[in-house]
Amino acid sequence: MSFNRRHFLAAAAAGAAAQSVVVGQSTAPRIPTAMIGVGNRGSHVMKGVLEQPNAAVVALCDIKPDRLDAAASAAAKDQPKTYKDWRAVIDRKDIEAVFIATPPYLHSEMAVAALQAGKHVYCEKPIGITASQVRDVVKAAKNSKKVFMVGQQLRSFTQLQEAIAKIRGGVIGNVLMVNAQRHASQDLSHDGSSADWYFDVDKSGGYLIEQSVHNLDACNWVVGEHPTKASGFGGTLLYKNDPPGRNIYDCNVLSYEYPSGAKMSFTLNVFHPPGMPGGNQYIHAFGSKGAVDLMYSTNMYKLNTKDEPVVLAAKRDEAPHGHTTAFYDCITKNAKNPADIVVGASGALTAIMGHLAMTKQSVVSWSDLGVAL
Ligand SMILES: NC(=O)c1ccc[n+]([C@@H]2O[C@H](COP(=O)([O-])OP(=O)(O)OC[C@H]3O[C@@H](n4cnc5c(N)ncnc54)[C@H](O)[C@@H]3O)[C@@H](O)[C@H]2O)c1
């Protein structure tokens, strides 16, 4: 494997990148930042890091030379050093912030090591694919004084923040039931950028844990707590052994119960025909005074009237890298963390509880997971 020599030479000259650079007319400190995993997601998030006036991308790590090369080109202005070994990145004392965007089964080990080394950590979702992995990250984050943020970026969408604040404020009364789904019109690409890990449940966790953690976390946000019980069924009904060796489900039907008594139903599939109504993702929250249609609108319908819906929060263009900006705001301005360890852990554990319910074919309780938040 030959890495791009141009970037190695540039990086060697740069060494530890400057921690202070001229931004506009002023000299602002820039937080030395490392990116571990620069595939599909990592390279996208890195664009957001490069846009931050208070960040410098000083290290890039990936085991795939082509991805490392492409990222080094994209981040050339900051002259990052490139690495194949993520531990060498964590060992660098000058690095203050680490982004982790590797396949999910690697997150906990990398996040724990980065936290223990005193770094601020932005970890892609899910923070772990087993309860014990989540437990390890929770312990390390709670023992750290640094910022830990999970890449559940819906938490930084200002329209959802405004609408959900109104739901939590009582606009639909008590939330009694949530009905949500994540349906896709096709399976993840069988030869795409993540096909070498995605279809192995021990690496991705499957669609529920890897993707639907976003949706389940949003349901928890709407209800205002995490569920305590899960039951349900799942299977590989269409894409049996396709791609060969696949052991992740293509369809899930789940039920959850919350401490308040609220119920949530969630379905997932990857075979919803594109033209068929009712596809894609939604969260319908039903309360004692009305219901809200979330995700593509924030329309609220009052109970027992045929009134036009009330828009809870106007549609707007969200900042494409708002969650990344929020991470640096937590570090530099002590801003409130929209997706802290409790959000990351409870989202992942909600998905893991559902996954266990399907694989064990029994009701699984939150207390069975053995993670204190
Ligand atoms: N927040 C979101 O909306 C969102 C969207 C997509 C993906 N993700 C998450 O981002 C993560 C990565 O997904 P992706 O789609 O970018 O996958 P990907 O396969 O495109 O990228 C993962 C990268 O990690 C690298 N990698 C694997 N093992 C490594 C190691 N030991 N050390 C360093 N690098 C290593 C791979 O070579 C690859 O380049 C997943 O956890 C996924 O759930 C989040």
Domain boundaries of the chain, sorted by first residue:
5-153, 155-315+342-368
Q: Do you know the residue count of the chain?
A: 373
> Which numbered atom of ligand 1 lies nearest the CA of 42?
16
* Candidate from 194, 201, 321 with most ligand 1 atoms within 8 A of CB, to mutate: 194
User: Which of 1, 38, 40 for a ligand 1 pocket mutation test, highest count of atoms within 8 Å of Cβ?
Assistant: 40
Exposure class string for 21-46: b at 16+ Cβ within 10 A, else e: eeeeeeeeebbbbbbbbbbebbbebb
5-153 shares its CATH topology with 155-315+342-368 = no
Q: Give the other-Cβ count within 10 Å of 360's Cβ.
A: 11
Ligand 1 site residues, Cβ closer than 6 angstroms:
36-42, 61-64, 67, 86, 101-104, 106, 124-125, 151, 153, 193-194, 210
Query: What number does the ligand 1 atom closest to the CA of 85 have?
Result: 32
Is domain 155-315+342-368 classified as CATH 3.30.465.10?
A: no
Q: Which residues, given as ranges, of the chain have pLDDT below 50?
A: 1-26
Give pLDDT, residue 27: 60
- pLDDT on residue 263: 98
For strands 229-235 and 148-150, give the pairing: unpaired
**Confidence at residue 29, expressed as pLDDT on a 0 to 100 scale:** 87
- 289 within 8 A of 173, measured Cβ to Cβ: yes
pLDDT at 3: 32
For domain 5-153, give the CATH superfamily.
NAD(P)-binding Rossmann-like Domain (3.40.50.720)
Contact 341, 141 (CB under 8 A): yes
Rounded Cα distance between 119 and 148, Å, is 9
pLDDT of residue 19: 44
Strands (E), the chain: 20-23, 26-29, 31-36, 55-61, 81-83, 97-100, 120-123, 148-150, 175-183, 229-235, 251-257, 263-269, 281-287, 290-294, 298-302, 310-311, 364-365
CA–CA separation, 284 and 263 (whole Å):
12
Three-class secondary structure of residue 316 per DSSP: coil
The pLDDT, as a whole number, for residue 194 is 95
